[in-house]
Amino acid sequence: MEQPAPHAIETGFRGKVAVVTGGATGLGRAIALEFGRLGCHVGFCFVDLPGRDVTEQALLTETALRAMGVEVFAAKCDVRDAKAVDRFMADVRSELGGLHILVNNAGIAVDGALWRMTDRAWKDVLETNVTGTFQCIRAVSNGFREQHYGKIVNVSAHQAERPGFGVANYAASKAGVIGLTRAAAVELGPSNVNVNAVAPGFIRTERMGMLPDEVIERAKKHSVLGRVAEPADVAKVISFLCSDDARHVTAQVLVVDGGLSLE
């Protein structure tokens, strides 16, 4: 029996549904707010972190989004847990009426010299940053293929190509995200799904506040623009990659580092 043709997806952002993993704080919050500003309904997930009340931050992000007049679904979800990911994506579809955009932002860093790095530090970073990204893409793939439409942006990092000291696990994970991005683009492209990545440099978030001042000053010095990124600088690039203007862009890695990688 011949399958019915998928319903045409309207152009523009308004009314579409965007999912942002790790969307309660930092860059993820900026991405969620950017899509809300553009008129998307937003689903985002988060996990509690040691020493931080992420649940409270998630509530603030949800409140800010609702003030924009869009619908929101927020829930705890550990992207390392495949069943939890499948459940979260299904809940987004049920609560918000669809799913059109996925931004894989959830990620962690546990830095240290590789000869002192524990198995746990290696596994946690790889499982969150790479396996978590894979599981989120897998969870939305069938829906995107059925509707013959989807936008996926994965957050890599400039350390994937230019790692510093003590980031072996993080650099490996973000390089893995780039490989996964290109492979997913190949497999999902025939279904009109664009898959790209962004590779930010230093971003002014809570995590950057934990770095020594000399590291931040060195980053500014080596950036040809003489500054570090604000979260919105990266969020707007991500929204561009999900826009109709980028309909013919896929399997690409857009570096957003202020020229840091030129050094």
Strand spans (E) along the chain: 17-21, 41-46, 72-76, 101-104, 150-155, 193-200, 253-256
- Give me the phi and psi of 44, to 5 degrees please: -140, 150
The pLDDT-based confidence of 202 (bands split at 50, 70, 90) is confident
Strand spans (E) along 78-213: 101-104, 150-155, 193-200
The type of residue at 176 is G
Residue carrying the six token digits 């995590």: 207
DSSP assignment, residue 111? -
The full set of domain ranges for the chain reads 17-256
Q: What is the pTM of this model?
A: 0.94
CB 238 within 8 A of CB 249: no
* Residue 82 exposure: Cα atoms within 13 Å on the Cβ side: 5
Nearest residue to 257 (alpha-carbon basis) of 215, 238, 229: 229
Task: Tell me what the mean pLDDT of segment 94-105 comes to.
Answer: 98
The distance in angstroms from the start CA to the end CA of the chain is: 59
CB 154 within 8 A of CB 197: yes
In tens, the pLDDT along 134-151 reads: 999 999 999 999 999 999
Domain 17-256 has CATH 3.40.50.720: yes
Length of the chain: 263
- Higher-pLDDT residue of 160 and 208 is 160
The pLDDT-based confidence of 6 (bands split at 50, 70, 90) is low
- Give me the phi and psi of 206, to 5 degrees please: -60, -40
* 206/160 Cα distance (integer angstroms): 21
Predicted pLDDT at 223:
86
Task: Tell me what the mean pLDDT of segment 59-76 comes to.
Answer: 98
- Give me the phi and psi of 199, to 5 degrees please: -125, 90
Residue 212, judged by CB atoms within 10 A of its CB (0-12, 13-18, 19+), counts as: exposed
Catalytic machinery residues: 170
Question: Is the per-residue pLDDT at 3 higher than 50?
Answer: no
* 14/238 Cα distance (integer angstroms): 16
Task: Tell me what the mean pLDDT of segment 179-185 comes to.
Answer: 98
Question: Is the per-residue pLDDT at 1 higher than 70?
Answer: no
The pLDDT-based confidence of 68 (bands split at 50, 70, 90) is very high
- Find residue 254's DSSP bridge partners: 198
CB 21 within 8 A of CB 105: yes
Predicted pLDDT at 212:
61
